[in-house]
Amino acid sequence: MNRSPQGGRPLGGAFLPGDLTAGVTVAAYLIPQCMAYGELAGLAPINGLWAMLPSIVIYAWLGGSPYLSVGPETTTA
Q: Do residues 75 and 69 make contact, with C-beta atoms less than 8 angstroms apart?
A: yes
**What is the Cα–Cα distance from 11 to 30, expressed in whole angstroms?**
23
Judge whether 72 lies within some domain: no
**What is the Cα–Cα distance from 32 to 27, expressed in whole angstroms?**
8
Note the pLDDT of residue 40. Answer: 92
Paired strand residues for 3: 10
For 18-74, the pLDDT digits (tens) are 878 877 887 888 888 889 989 999 999 999 889 888 877 887 777 766 666 666 565
Judge whether 51 lies within some domain: yes
Note the pLDDT of residue 39. Answer: 93
pLDDT at residue 8 tops 60: no
Judge whether 4 lies within some domain: no
Q: How many domains does the chain have?
A: 1
User: With a threshold of 0.85, does the pTM exceed it?
Assistant: no
**What is the Cα–Cα distance from 10 to 47, expressed in whole angstroms?**
34
**What is the Cα–Cα distance from 34 to 20, expressed in whole angstroms?**
20
